[in-house]
Amino acid sequence: MKKDKGLLLVLSGPAGVGKGTVCSALRKHDTDIEYSVSATTRAPRLGEVDGVNYFFKSKEEFEEMIANNRLLEWAEYVGNFYGTPIDYVEDTLAKGKDIILEIEVQGALKVKERFPEGVFIFLIPPSLSELRNRIVGRGTETEEIINERMNVARAEIDMMKNYDYVVENDKVELAVERIKSIVTAEHCRRERVFEKYKELVEVN
């Protein structure tokens, strides 16, 4: 019987919604899900490790990756570049393992053009005021940057119409359970399993 191909899970949403926290919690619950590490030109935040949270690159290094077609997608966001190295993603899917991309909305839409069979999940906050509180709570952005991120967030929330699922991040554990249910359902979709099981009814 044919081996299942892995699911490409794309999780995105406005900055500060808790994508990283939810993604980390999901992987603790489901250790079979691989995490695709993105490349970025932004400076590391306190506690972030190169090659674990992001591949931290200079602008010149990032531009070289673009020129060599080594990125599945890339986007500029609030003055910094973000992108997904392509080789690891394709190799993981071919092995039958699920992989999750935690990326910005611009990047997610580019991935959808290339991998329409992916599962696209939009993470939303309970409210915009709660989103602002989370960004302020980081203590890493100036008031000007915070206001800019909130303006971007409003535009990004309008883009949820391009996603397959919308998950509210009111509590991390609840958001994780919702995403796990989505993954289970997607593995059972007729389109994904038809070819695998068709051989059961084929006449030799």
pLDDT of residue 150 exceeding 90: no
Q: What is the mean pLDDT of residues 126-140?
A: 80
pTM of structure: 0.79
Cα of 105 vs its chain's centroid, Å? 9
Question: Between residues 50 and 197, which one has the greater pLDDT?
Answer: 50
pLDDT of residue 202 exceeding 80: no
Number of Cβ within a 10 Å radius of residue 194: 9
Q: What are the tens digits of pLDDT across the range 37-89? A: 889 999 998 999 998 888 999 999 999 999 998 899 888 888 899 988 887 88
In DSSP notation, 49-90 reads: -BTTTEEE--HHHHHHHHHTT-EEEEEEETTEEEEEEHHHHH
Helices 128-138 and 143-157: crossing angle in degrees, nearest 10, is: 140
Q: Note the pLDDT of residue 3.
A: 61
> If you ran DSSP here, which 8-state letter would residue 160 be given?
G
> If you ran DSSP here, which 8-state letter would residue 37 be given?
P
Quick check: helix, strand or coil at residue 127? Answer: coil
Burial of 166 (0-12, 13-18, 19+ CB in 10 A): middle
Set out the domains of the chain in order of their start, with CATH numbers: 8-36+97-198 (3.40.50.300)
Q: Note the pLDDT of residue 200.
A: 72
Contacts of 156 (CB under 8 A, 6+ apart): 13, 14, 105
